[in-house]
Chains A and B, each alone.
Chain A
Amino acid sequence: MTTLRQSTQNFGQLAQTSARTILFLLRARAFFVLIALLILFASLAPSFLTPNNLAILSKHVAISAILAIGMTFVVLTGGIDLSVGSVAGLSGMVAGYLLTQGLIINGVAHFPPVALLILITLLVCLAFGLLNGWLVAKAGVAPFIATLGTLYIARGAALLMSNGKTFPNLGGQVARGNTGFTQLGQHALLGLPLPVWIMLALFGLAWTIAVHTPLGRHIYAVGGNERAARLAGIRVPRVKIFTYVASSLCAALVGLIIASQLEAAHPATGESFELNAIAAVVLGGTSLMGGRGSIVGSLIGAFVIGVLSDGLVMLGVSEFWQMVIKGTVIVLAVAVDQLHSRLQTRLLPYLESSSQGPN
């Protein structure tokens, strides 16, 4: 009798431990995938782990990670921002225009210094974020449609700025007092490129907001149950507008970084970047239904996508196959996410077996 009870107890404990382990593995899956990819590419391509290559890799990752950080906020509220790629393109063009054409006031071109120029660019993109937020939160337009619209508007605006041409030579001129723009994308600090520092700073800021501020909690609340959030006195429209503004500002930074790296602004820059950002967010375990996910996850997701595409390039996999592989990874990630939430409900009884008695 006693042995039987003991063995069932042991079984219960075993079940509980294994349930916990399974769920932990699933929750941290993006991280394990990242490690696996790093090992895979390091063994297949010997030059993969060289400092030179890692520096290039980190620059690529920084671009999609910055976009993914902003996108995470939007997705956490249950929305989506399709306009980030276009806004990034517009951002570069605004900077390019100001650097090469200047602000024309009374027929005279004024060339703003780089700091002011960055500020103006950010403000222009902020306006797009406000527009997205207003459309979604106040006008009641579905996020997909609202940001699809601003995707076209921002892209069109970018093309209009130069009639579709590229703004070259963004180094600036000493005579105009606007040199130094190229530092943003090319300067290195303590061996790390500046864009990587920007990414890390944004990550720290976004993580703090998400985890440690009322605003962050409101974002999760809105995504979890918008009606309940409103009844709790949370100002839902304000929260949503913040997320779209944050996303647009991240996109603006990406546009500036790319223009600075290339020393040129091309109006088509950033096409399909939104898809990479969404993929990173989803890979990181954030639910497109809102309310569940994390900034850390999105950062890891961005790393997975960056490592995957750079690694495949180094292995000489054709561009077409790269797309197939990337798509497969994304679809699998979402399928595993579904499995995760289903397993979670299934395994719940085992997890609670210690805290509550039978019955």
Chain B
Amino acid sequence: MNASADDIVLEARSITKRYPGTVALDDVTFRVHRNQVNVLIGENGAGKSTLMRILAGVESSDLGQIVLEGASIRIRSPREAAEHGISIVHQELSVLSNLDISENIFAGRERVRAVVLLDRKAEDVRSARALETLRMPMPARTLVARLSLGRRQIVEVARTLDQGAKVLILDEPTSALSAAETQSLFQVIADLKHSGVTIIYISHRLHELLHLGDWFTVLRSGRVVGEAPRSEVSRKWIVERMSGRDITQQKERSLPSTNTSPLLEVEGLSLGASGRDQAAQAPLHGVSFRLHRGEILGIYGLLGAGRTELLESIAGARRLYEGIVRLKNSTVDLSSIASAGQHGIVLVPEDRQRDGLIPELSIRENIAIGSLHGILISRADQIARVRKLVEELGIVARNLELPVTSLSGGNQQKVLIARCLMRGPSLLLLDEPTRGVDVGAKEDIYQILRRLASKGIGILFTSSEIEETRALADRALVLCQGRISQEFSRNEITDEALFAAASPVVATTSTPVSGVK
């Protein structure tokens, strides 16, 4: 490494941040090297986003200090962060889609003439200049609602450029981008680096990180567990530190017999694309596969590949364009979630806050809510059944009558699984089964699912994490742009193979640096 690589522009020193029930960051020191792409890696819930939100002034730390150019500073708001030259492009895009491009670039820091009037001309000129720098010229008065997700992201980067950002934080910038958009973003990052901007890059896509990064910092459960320059980093190095165990260790589970007739048969499932915004629906094209009793089938794919759409279609939550779903050799009526449920198909949704839990209700009520039938509720019977499930799944709760929000993320997820089990399913669908769950609870949930499978329930889950797919699946299907691109048996699953199968053809031009299985 040359001398400039050791030049620290920004340092988060001994940062600690607690939330009720969890320690998000535990004495974390993160060094940012000048004019480099500083990569921050970690699994979901490792504390990456929390650390970045603290640097960007969105949240404040409980302990620790932030040192910029050798001087300790305080960052109390996004505005103050921007004044110090620290800007962030958030994971969930935060554009104002009802305004146009230059209005977005200058939101909150409008140019003014004659004391009070907006100087739109100056704003438009500077917006055009920033977009020009990013090699993405667009008319400054285009309504942002009309832009693709990738272009919205460019608008946010342009905003930070115009603010004169010295340190630019990109929080999972490619999670919603198409392959082509990702490529042009990488070009933009290279340009920015050359023009003297320091980048902090967060992602859990290893191939991207190895391609882009100069310095690597790994977070696990709120602690820094590794820090090294690119020359010392390999795929194995990252994965071992991220997961905290030797990756050659694998728990073996006897594979279910596949000689019997399949539990689930999906044939030619197709779904039309619709919507442009967050509510957008990715299309599915003729998806067909089978699932046997007691089998855990994983579906891996990048964002927008159609994972959620596939599960929700089978659960009866989407209007199918074409396709047949058979369960135990009889066709399932998928016109509604209720009818799919009656056939024994139940779904644990991806976003448990939005689509799963009912925060006002107690733990017991949240578990029982899917199984209320008839007119009168037999409370004693219900309590007994809920108790049994709570015990089975190891839900840690002092009292089942407490609100469900008093539980940790992992226990909340178990509550949702319990809700589904109470309905006596023969097929359990899980969309990102361990999203936002800490490492310990993750392993718990894997155990639960393995146990359920051994009882003969079919389990179909989707994941955007390779580690998870490998840890859990007996067999994996890779979904890419609405099509099943490849199928892997458990022994065939490797990082490289899954990535290659999941990436649209354009993206495979940047093949990841070869790593160790």
Contact = CB atoms under 8 A, between A and B. Distances in A.
Interface of A: 208, 212-214, 216-218, 220-221, 223-225, 227-234, 291-292, 345, 348, 352
A223 B98 CA distance: 9
A225 B112 CA distance: 23
Among B94, B99, B108, B146, chain A packs the most CB atoms within 10 A around the CB of: B108
Interface core residue of B96, B109, B116, B276 (most chain A CB under 10 Å): B96
Contacts of B110: 214, 217
Interface stretch (B74-82, B376-384, B463-471): B74-82
Contacts of A230: 78
B118 A231 contact: no
Interface core residue of A225, A233, A345, A348 (most chain B CB under 10 Å): A233
Contacts of A352: 146
Contacts of B117: 208, 212-213
12 contacts: A208-B117, A214-B118, A217-B118, A218-B107, A220-B96, A225-B95, A228-B94, A228-B95, A229-B108, A232-B109, A233-B78, A291-B98
A58 B426 CA distance: 70
B343 interface: no
Contacts of A232: 78, 94, 96, 107-109, 159
A216 to B, nearest CB: 8
B432 interface: no
Interface in B74-116: 77-79, 82, 90, 94-99, 103, 107-110, 112, 116
A221 B116 contact: no
A217 B94 contact: no
B107 A348 contact: no
B422 interface: no
A208 B116 CA distance: 10
Contact of B94 (A213, A218, A231): A231
B337 interface: no
Interface residues of B, number: 25
Contacts of B99: 217, 220-221, 224
Given A208-B117, A345-B275, 14 more contacts: A213-B118, A214-B110, A214-B112, A221-B96, A224-B98, A228-B96, A231-B94, A232-B96, A232-B108, A232-B159, A233-B77, A233-B78, A233-B109, A291-B96
Interface of B: 58, 77-79, 82, 90, 94-99, 103, 107-110, 112, 116-118, 146, 159, 275-276
A347 to B, nearest CB: 12
Among all A-B residue pairs, the 4 with the closest Cβ atoms: A224-B98, A228-B94, A233-B108, A214-B110
Most B CB within 10 A of own CB, among A228, A348, A352: A228
A348 B118 contact: no
B118 A229 contact: no
A212 B103 CA distance: 12
B107 A229 contact: yes
A290 B78 CA distance: 24
A208, A220, A225: residue with the most chain B Cβ atoms closer than 10 Å:
A225
B78 A292 contact: no
Nearest to B109: A233
Given A213-B118, A214-B118, A232-B78, A225 B109 contact: no
A352 B112 CA distance: 32
A212 B94 CA distance: 23
A213 to B, nearest CB: 5
B98 A292 contact: yes
A246 to B, nearest CB: 15
Contacts of B108: 218, 221, 229, 232-234
